[in-house]
Copies of this chain bind each other. A is one copy, B any other.
Amino acid sequence: MNRAQSEPKWGSPRPEAGRGSVQARVIAEMRRRIIKGDIEPETPLSELALAEEFGVSRTPVREALKQLQTEGLVEIRPRVGTFVTTPSRREITELFEMKELLEGAAARLLAQRGRVPEIDLLERNLREADAAVERDDRGRYAELVQEFHDLLIAGADNSKLGAHYRILMNQLAYSRLINTSLSQPGRALQSDREHHRVLELILEKDGDSAERVMREHVRASRSALLAGLPVNRDSQARPVRSQDG
């Protein structure tokens, strides 16, 4: 395993992710896998194995895992190993509390901003979403829901809010959960209506109501999700690593 340059090694098709530093690629790829759920939560994640797989040395892999730890996606148990974290029941509750908080605030902020480009995109999103619901295209609707929420956050025009929101959603692996939520009968239609109501209030510049309705929407979404979760798979409550200050 020498110079990655002189030994390309992945002759296999690797269309994307060629740019940037080595560890940036590793971080992005690992994050993608974890969020997508490709990695079993209990069998992890050896620096050496990952290094060999990516054709790099252990150093960038190690730094990548360290960053993913601070993002809350993996847990590094010293001298033992690195494992993907699965949020406990309680953490899921906490994460949804935060989701409700941030998305509600985003709705309020967007309402205060007046007509910005994100508004147009949201309107277009809802038109497409209506069509998807109409033809019962659940997969497409899930994508549009994600886009709706992302547009809302982007429209808040607060980069800090956006950054924290992204970390939150990654920890929740929300892109997986949303399908569970939408599998509840009638949930898609109701969700679509709630989205419409929120956007209406935003257009009316009624920030207070927009926030309130948005928060109710998040709670409804959470209920639908929990109702659809398979069992009470209660993850172990890891000790919270104090981060000092």
Contact = CB atoms under 8 A, between A and B. Distances in A.
Contact of A159 (B21, B91, B159, B168): B91
A154 interface: no
A219 interface: no
Interface string A104-130: 010001000000000000000000000
A28 interface: yes
A151 interface: no
A70 to B, nearest CB: 5
Specify how many copies of this chain sit in the oligomer.
2
A97 B164 contact: no
A62 B66 CA distance: 11
Contacts of A160: 91, 94-95, 97-98, 168, 171
A67 B66 CA distance: 7
Contacts of A62: 63
Interface string A48-81: 0000000000010011001100110000001000
B245 A31 contact: yes
A83 to B, nearest CB: 18
B164 A164 contact: yes
A1 interface: no
B94 A161 contact: yes
A158 interface: yes
10 contacts: A31-B245, A63-B66, A66-B66, A70-B70, A91-B160, A94-B158, A97-B158, A98-B158, A160-B168, A164-B164
